Amino acid sequence: MQVKYIFITGGVVSSLGKGLTSASIGNLLESRGLKIAMLKLDPYLNVDPGTMNPFQHGEVYVTDDGAETDLDLGHYYRYTNTPLSKASNATSGQIYNTVIKRERKGEYLGQTVQVIPHVTDEIKKRILDCSIQEEGTNLVLVEIGGTVGDIESLPFLEAIRQFRNERPHDCINIHLTYVPYLKAAGEVKTKPTQHSTGELRSIGIMPDIILCRSENVLSDQIKEKIALFCNVSQDSVIDEPDVEKSIYEVPLQLSRQKLDDTIIKRLSLSPPKSESNTAIWEKIIHTISYPKEKVTIGVVGKYIDHQDAYKSVIESLNHAALSLDAELKVRYIDADKVSEKSFLGCDGFLVPGGFGERGWTGKIQTARFCREKKIPYFGICLGMQIMAIEFARHVLDLSDSHSTEIDPNTPYPIISLLSEQENILNMGGTMRLGAYPCKLDPASRAFKAYNVEEIQERHRHRYEFNNAFKSDFEKNGFLFSGIWEEGMLAEIVEIVDHPWMVGTQFHPEFKSKPSAAHPLFKSFISAAIKEQKDG
Q: Provide the minimum distance between the beta carbon of 83 and ligand GLN in the complex, in angstroms, as a whole number.
A: 24
Within 184-270, residue ranges assigned H as helices are: 191-202, 220-230, 250-256, 259-266
Within 233-381, residue ranges assigned H as helices are: 250-256, 259-266, 279-289, 311-323, 360-373
Q: Provide the minimum distance between the beta carbon of 382 and ligand GLN in the complex, in angstroms, as a whole number.
A: 3
Enumerate residues 6+ apart whose C-beta is below 8 A from 26: 36, 38, 76, 79, 80, 82, 141
Question: In the complex with ligand GLN, which residue's Cβ is closer, 50 or 198?
Answer: 50
Whether residue 117 is preceded by a cis peptide bond, meaning omega within 30 degrees of 0, is: yes
Q: Which residues are catalytically annotated? A: 381, 507, 509
- Find how far residue 218's CA is from the centre of its chain: 30
Question: In the complex with ligand GLN, which residue's Cβ is closer, 15 or 361?
Answer: 361
| Neighbour count for residue 283 (Cβ, 10 Å) | 14
**Long-range CB pairs of 309-314, under 8 A, 24+ apart, other chains included:** 309/54, 309/55, 309/58, 309/59, 310/59, 310/352, 311/58, 311/59, 311/71, 311/74, 312/59, 312/61, 312/71, 312/74, 312/507, 312/509, 312/510, 312/512, 313/350, 313/352, 313/380, 313/509
Question: In the complex with ligand GLN, which residue's Cβ is closer, 354 or 359?
Answer: 354
- How far apart are alpha carbons 492 and 394 in whole angstroms? 20
Applying CB under 6 A, the residues found at the interface with ligand GLN are 353-355, 381-382, 405, 460-463
* 211 close to 257: Cβ distance less than 8 angstroms: no
Question: In the complex with ligand GLN, which residue's Cβ is closer, 28 or 381?
Answer: 381
Question: In the complex with ligand GLN, which residue's Cβ is closer, 75 or 459?
Answer: 459
Q: Provide the minimum distance between the beta carbon of 19 and ligand GLN in the complex, in angstroms, as a whole number.
A: 21
Question: In the complex with ligand GLN, which residue's Cβ is closer, 141 or 381?
Answer: 381
Q: Provide the minimum distance between the beta carbon of 508 and ligand GLN in the complex, in angstroms, as a whole number.
A: 12
Q: Provide the minimum distance between the beta carbon of 501 and ligand GLN in the complex, in angstroms, as a whole number.
A: 18
Strand partners, 239: 212
- How far apart are alpha carbons 312 and 523 in whole angstroms? 17
DSSP state of 513: B
Q: Provide the minimum distance between the beta carbon of 366 and ligand GLN in the complex, in angstroms, as a whole number.
A: 15
Q: Provide the minimum distance between the beta carbon of 405 and ligand GLN in the complex, in angstroms, as a whole number.
A: 5
* 21 close to 11: Cβ distance less than 8 angstroms: no
Among 270, 200, 199, 263, residue whose Cα is nearest residue 34: 270
Question: Which position's Cβ is nearest ligand GLN?
Answer: 353
Question: In the complex with ligand GLN, which residue's Cβ is closer, 368 or 460?
Answer: 460
Question: CA triplet 454, 457, 463: central angle to 5 degrees?
Answer: 115
